[in-house]
Each structure stands twice: as structure tokens, then as C-alpha cells.
Amino acid sequence: MQEPKKPADEAQRLEALRALSILDTLPEERFDRLTRLAKRLFGVPIALVSLVDDHRQWFKSRQGLEASETPRDISFCGHAVLGDDIFLIPDASKDGRFLDNPLVTNEPHIRFYAGCPLALPGGSRPGTLCLIDREPRQLSPDDLDLLRDLARMVEEELAAVQLATMDDLTHLSNRRGFQALGQHAMQLCRRVERPAALLYFDLDGFKAINDRFGHAEGDRALNVFAQLLQQTFRDSDVLGRLGGDEFAVLATNTTATDLQKALSRLDAAVDRQNAVERRGYDLRYSVGAVDFDPAQHRDIDALTAAADALMYTQKQARRQVANTG
């Protein structure tokens, strides 16, 4: 049996998949109607929307199959996501890569497989729309075009899910997306016993910017700050706009003390931005930094709340200094 290789963009692919916050969710009619349609149009016993996670393939929608997931190392879809076009196996029992695969020798006794890779707007391939038959068969050119068309419909639904996890203004993860990515990152750090730290930011005086200069200028300020965060922190860090003028960064394999250098770079970048633009106001922020403690922080929400509390303490201290000055 030939195990599927990992795509060259595996880290980015998994990040995009998990940012969808769709794994292990309940069935949805918008996906089920497409697998029902595929099953009926092609006359196959099994049709799936399969999402290839780190060690498993999980089925967002399944028709004709009881299992909700199978190991990635025996998956056909793990092979399919390596390419851009349909991965076709007319008879798995005669294909050296699959003839001794447990999914061929045991239930569901796969003979025919056709998997069309699904692509997200950023280019990542999270999984497939696939057809399975227990008898060998072929697909005509028209059949292949039809499968591609159905796969594009699944992609449109995934794109709609992706938009639900992205902040429209800054194009960072929104709160839902940050929670999904952050939870996965925390679980990884917990499992491999690596440190992590969360920074919680709140822009100072943001309401005054909106009131004095208008909401368009307020939106511009949020975008500028989001860009400065992206330029300061690592590609592997999880960044999000959690709502209003609140932002967060979860950094793995590092500590809150280590992040002080990054915060110093951010301070310098903000100062340069203010000096160059001179828009009648200065960008300023308060921040709370908390180390991930597996015994204390059961999930990403608990870690975020702890950093938020520290940020609020810093903001209050700044206000007292300003008032007494």
C-alpha cells in the first residue's frame, strides 16, 4: 500500500482548513444536497465531501457511508489533494498503490474512486468531492466535467464558510476564526509541552478618532494597526481582530517575556507611522500579555480573557496617569 505524501504547502493548508472552523461540525444541508446530487447523477453508492486533516480524513457530508472519518494514511483523498485535477482510480484491486489498502480489502470495499480537489480562495486544497463505487468503472469526459462543476459548487460553499471566519475590514481572522486557529495551536502546545503566549490589544482613544474624524478614518486606523501587527509578528503566529478596536496575537513556542522584543518593534513601528502620517491623531494601544498555563487555561477563551484583564489594567493605569498629569 502506498501512503499519501504531504503537500508542499501542508502547514498553510492545515491552517486554512482549521480556520474554517468546520471540522467535527454537524451535517449541513448546503453540503448534503451536493453529495446527494452527485450520488444520484453518477449512480454511485457513496459520495463524500472529505476534508483531509493532519492524521485523518473527516467527512463533512457523506452519502452511503457510516464512518465519519478514516485515517489519513490509508485515504484515497490524501492522494487527491496533491494535484489540481481529478484523481481517478478505475479499479483499486488492480492498482499497486491500493490493492492491499484496508478500504479496498475491507469495508467499504472500494474499487472505483474519483476525487476532485477542492480549492479555497487562497489556493489551499482542504479536501475533495469524491465518488466511490464497489464495482470498477470509468468516467467519460462529460462525466469528468460534471464532477468538476459539482466540486466548484462545494468550493463556493466552503468560501462562504471561510468568509464567516475572516474580518471583512482588516482581512485578519475574526473572533470565530481566531478561536478556531488558537484552540488548535493551544492543543498542539499542550501535547508537545511547548510554551505559548497571548497578547491582547486595545486601541487607546479610538472612539475619539471616530467621533472627530469619521468612521472612514476610524476604519483606516484599524487597517493600519492590523498591517503593523502583520509586519511585526511571525507568519506562524495567529492574529485576529476580535471586534471593534480589539486585536489578539497567539504566539507558539515562545513566552510573554520573549514577546517583549516584538512589542518594542511594534512600538517603534507605530511611532514611525504616527510621525510620517500626521493625520491629527496618534495611534496608541494598551496590551496584556499572558503565558499559556495548561493547568489554568482550559481553552483559548480562558487564555484570551486573562490577557484581556491585564490589558484593561494597563489601560486604567494609563488613564490615571493622564488624569493626574
What pLDDT, in 10s, does the model give residues 100-157?
999 999 999 999 999 999 999 889 999 999 999 999 999 999 999 999 999 999 999 9
pLDDT band at 85 (very low <50, low <70, confident <90, very high): very high
The reported pLDDT for the residue numbered 325 is 56
What's the DSSP call for residue 297? -
Give the 3-state secondary structure of residue 171. coil
Residue 288 reports pLDDT greater than 70: yes
Mean pLDDT of 21-46: 94
CATH superfamily of 10-163: GAF domain (3.30.450.40)
**What integer best gives the mean pLDDT of the chain?**
93
The reported pLDDT for the residue numbered 324 is 67
Domain boundary assignment for the chain: 10-163, 175-324
Q: Does domain 175-324 have CATH number 3.40.50.2000?
A: no
In degrees, to the nearest 5, what angle opens at C-alpha 132 toward C-alphas 131 and 135?
A: 135
Mean pLDDT of 238-251: 95
Give the 3-state secondary structure of residue 88. strand
Answer yes or no: same fold for 10-163 and 175-324.
no
Residue 323 reports pLDDT greater than 80: no
Mean pLDDT of 255-274: 96
Is 218 in contact with 206 (CB distance < 8 Å)? yes
The reported pLDDT for the residue numbered 207 is 94
Residue 235: CB atoms within 10 A of its CB come to: 9
In degrees, to the nearest 5, what angle opens at C-alpha 146 toward C-alphas 142 and 151?
A: 150
| Cell numbers that stand for 81 in this block | 489533494
Higher pLDDT, 42 or 192: 42
Nearest to 248 by CA among 169, 299, 177: 177
Phi, psi torsion values for 195, nearest 5 degrees: -75, 165
Residues 6+ apart with CB under 8 A from 243: 174, 175
Cα–Cα distances in Å, from 260 out to 166, 186, 199, 263? 27, 20, 10, 5
pLDDT band at 318 (very low <50, low <70, confident <90, very high): confident
Nearest to 222 by CA among 248, 247, 251: 247
The reported pLDDT for the residue numbered 322 is 67
Residues 6+ apart with CB under 8 A from 80: 86, 87, 115, 116, 117, 128, 130
289 forms bridges with which residues in the sheet?
199
Residue 314 reports pLDDT greater than 80: yes
Which contacts qualify for 315-324: CB closer than 8 Å, 24 or more apart? 315/202, 315/204, 315/286, 318/204, 318/286
Backbone CA torsion sign across 12, 15, 19, 22: positive
